[in-house]
């Protein structure tokens, strides 16, 4: 064994196997190909070593994942030299999934190839400005507040509001809208969760724009419902890393 091989972590392996089995079962039940569902690791509060171990566990199973950061301050985690090298080696895409602040747009543009959380026009403007200065283009998702929970960001879940957001972004040449994102209702009431997630799919289909295809929805607790409702990206934290302390 190479000197720098990480120690075996049977608990992590078991969580990863269980997660992949859940996605597999949910996809097959919905007549979908499990490989059409991208697993994004929500890495908030985890150490570089924890993130690296999880990336290796998926890689060992032949699964390419993405990493998602919530907080601009935690982007620095991924600049850990060993983690950054591993992310590059395994071609792990870096996404941003958190509440955006205008003054952090530059960090987010530098870090993320896909920004899930464009939740208001002024954020679109700040990202466009920074992408233009950096001379790069970025993919973005329009975050929609399908749960109606005030604590959550996002455009109103109406065709008018989402259509207006899309029109605003269409006029921002360094940003390309590839889909919609939502955080489902925070409840164990399954019909309520399903309603909020299916609403995102209906909104996407109503746009009539084939290139706006991604549906980022579903977390550890509700990913079966999300996969059934058409999720193309599920954002998973605790199911892989264990409960947050």
User: Is 236 an interacting residue with respect to ligand PLP (CB under 6 A)?
Assistant: yes
The residue from 26, 38, 70, 72 that contacts ligand PLP (CB under 6 A) is: 70
The residue from 16, 38, 51, 97 that contacts ligand PLP (CB under 6 A) is: 97
Report whether 92 contacts 64 (CB < 8 A).
Answer: yes
d(CA 72, CA 115): 12
**DSSP secondary structure letter of residue 22:** H
The residue from 42, 54, 115, 226 that contacts ligand PLP (CB under 6 A) is: 42
Q: Per-residue x/- mask for ligand PLP, residues 211 to 230, rule CB under 6 A?
A: --------xxx---------
Q: Which two tokens stand for residue 226?
A: 């999300």
d(CA 220, CA 55): 17
Q: What's the closest the beta carbon of residue 219 comes to ligand PLP, in angstroms?
A: 4
User: Is 146 an interacting residue with respect to ligand PLP (CB under 6 A)?
Assistant: no
User: Is 231 an interacting residue with respect to ligand PLP (CB under 6 A)?
Assistant: no
Catalog residues that contact ligand PLP under the rule CB under 6 A: 42, 44, 70, 97, 183, 219-221, 235-239
């Amino acid at each position: 064994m190479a000197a720098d091989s990480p120690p075996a972590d049977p608990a992590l392996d078991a969580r990863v196997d269980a997660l992949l089995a859940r996605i597999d079962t949910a996809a097959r039940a919905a007549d979908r190909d499990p490989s059409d569902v991208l697993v994004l690791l929500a890495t908030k509060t985890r150490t570089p070593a924890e993130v690296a171990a999880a990336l290796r566990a998926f890689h060992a199973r032949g699964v390419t994942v993405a990493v998602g950061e919530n907080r601009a301050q935690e982007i620095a985690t991924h600049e850990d030299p060993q983690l950054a090298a591993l992310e590059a080696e395994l071609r792990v895409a870096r996404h941003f999934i958190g509440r955006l602040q205008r003054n952090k747009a530059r960090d987010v543009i530098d870090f993320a190839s896909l920004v899930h959380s464009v939740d208001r026009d002024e954020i679109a403007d700040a990202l466009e400005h920074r992408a233009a200065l950096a001379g790069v283009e970025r993919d973005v998702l329009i975050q929609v507040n399908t749960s109606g929970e005030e604590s959550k960001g996002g455009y109103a879940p109406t065709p008018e509001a989402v259509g207006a957001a899309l029109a605003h972004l269409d006029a921002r040449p360094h940003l390309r809208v590839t889909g919609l994102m939502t955080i489902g209702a925070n409840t164990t009431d399954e019909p309520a969760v399903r309603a909020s997630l299916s609403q995102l799919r209906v909104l996407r289909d109503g746009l009539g724009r084939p290139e706006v295809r991604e549906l980022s929805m579903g977390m550890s607790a509700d990913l079966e419902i999300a996969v059934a409702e058409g999720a193309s990206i599920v954002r998973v934290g605790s199911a892989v890393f264990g409960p947050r302390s």
